[in-house]
A and B are shown apart, each in its own frame.
Chain A
Amino acid sequence: MSNAQKRLLKEFKKYSNPNNKLSESIISLTPINDNNLFDWIAIINPIETIYKKGFYKLSIKLSNTYPLTPPIIKFITNESQIDRDEQITYQIPHCNIDFKTGEICLDILKIDNWSPIWTLEYSILAIIYLLNNQEPNSPLNIDFANLIKLNDKLAINSIINYYIK
């Protein structure tokens, strides 16, 4: 068993232990199926942010070099019609998240700033933190970054809530 598998198995055990509570914002954090620990799904409800009404789905892909390399985490924005869940919001307007692909621009998830002590849970929490701390100077969603720069709270909130189901 490779080091990555061992470590992911430890994390899996931790998250599936009912005595161990995840953060309230994380609804679930599990591998897609038991046989493949390199492919996870997280569902978040970022209650302490301006996105608090929405449930979002994240895909987490890991390589065999984890935890030496960061996980690749994306918001799921292009789920096929069959798999779509009524509860989940598939569009997220955020200046550091690509609106079409769901790609996330977060420095600690890049290889130069990643640290192997971060687990999947911490990575998700970092993303939730990013939701409320938008960084309009390195945007992936330029239109939304402009709103953030103008600090037009009414527009920001109404756009976010427009997409939430």
Chain B
Amino acid sequence: MEYSRYLNLAKASAIIRAHQKDESFVKDVESKILDTIREFKGAAFVQRGKNWIRILSRVVYLLTTMGIGSRTLGEEYVDIRYVNNNRNIGIRRRLLYVIACIIPLFATRLGNIAQYGKLLSQLNLILFYFFGRYYDIGKRLLGMEYVSSSGEVSKDNTNVGKYKYLGMALAAQLTFQGIVKVKDIVKERQKLVVDIDDNVNEKEHDSEKEETEESVEFKTETPCLLCLSSLENAAAAGCGHVFCWTCVLEWAQQSRSCPLCRAALKPQQLLLLR
């Protein structure tokens, strides 16, 4: 590659940092947009439209930074910019990237395809950990590669700061998940064969189904009693009652008794359940 004679390829660490910075700015924009919409339309409206507001804020952020031809704040922060075939990335490609951000909005309608999208982005991450360059799948497809505009040009451009071992771990996890999934599919096939073989089993199968449905319901209907949402990082108090970690910790700082049974509650006795 020609430009590598004049410029360093951006280090993987710099790319990650740029992305994280951008992410935090997007969050910032999102919370501002949320507050504004809440002011006009009420909290219930915001709750319903959370998904598209999240994507809208990302688009707004990218349009006002990348869209007008400058760098995003994250890229500026670590001083990296795009190159492609010795030229700067044109406005058209940038806009295409921004438009691509809207795709997740339709992910729920696409159904199965959304799953493949997730898999694809995971594969992309593995490639990134091994070879650097493209942290984002959209950028990989559009060939938007970063160079660092600061620092001395090193002679061998192999020093891109790879996270080989992280990549390996991720790859191992993915293959393992794949194996489990394949096994499940094989099992289901076998079950189907058995079902077709004797229809007498059908009734039993039905009752089994009901049972599993009940247990699923039970799971979703035991929320944390403090925030009334589903349990997040479940934590048990000394008396055995379970709440969200953040909820119960907040309460424990104020009062030293279990919200349910008023048994003594010490913050240091809270047990995070895994």
Contacts and interface: CB of A to CB of B under 8 A. Distances in A.
Interface of A: 1, 3, 5-7, 9-12, 14, 34-35, 37, 67-68, 115-117, 119
Contacts of A117: 225-226, 259-260
Contacts of B92: none
Chain B contact residues: helix, strand, loop or mixed: helix
A119 B227 CA distance: 10
A34 B42 contact: yes
Interface in B40-68: 42-44, 46-47
A119 B224 CA distance: 13
29 contacts: A1-B34, A1-B43, A1-B46, A3-B227, A3-B247, A5-B43, A6-B229, A7-B227, A7-B228, A9-B44, A10-B227, A10-B228, A10-B229, A14-B228, A34-B42, A34-B43, A34-B44, A35-B38, A35-B42, A67-B226, A68-B251, A68-B254, A115-B262, A116-B226, A116-B251, A116-B259, A117-B226, A117-B260, A119-B228
Nearest to A35: B42
A35 B38 CA distance: 7
A3 to B, nearest CB: 6
A10 B224 CA distance: 12
Contacts of B259: 115-117
B250 interface: yes
B43 A37 contact: yes
Given A14-B228, A37-B43, 12 more contacts: A3-B227, A3-B247, A6-B229, A11-B228, A34-B44, A35-B38, A35-B39, A35-B43, A68-B254, A115-B259, A117-B259, A117-B260
Contacts of B225: 116-117
Contacts of A1: 34, 43, 46
A52 B250 CA distance: 40
A113 to B, nearest CB: 9
Residue among B43, B226, B229, B251 with max Cβ neighbours from chain A (10 Å): B43
A35 to B, nearest CB: 4
B228 to A, nearest CB: 4
Contacts of A116: 225-226, 247, 251, 259
A67 B46 CA distance: 21
B73 to A, nearest CB: 25
A104 B252 CA distance: 27
Nearest to A33: B42
Contacts of A5: 43
A67 B250 CA distance: 10
Interface in B17-53: 34, 38-39, 42-44, 46-47
A9 B42 CA distance: 11
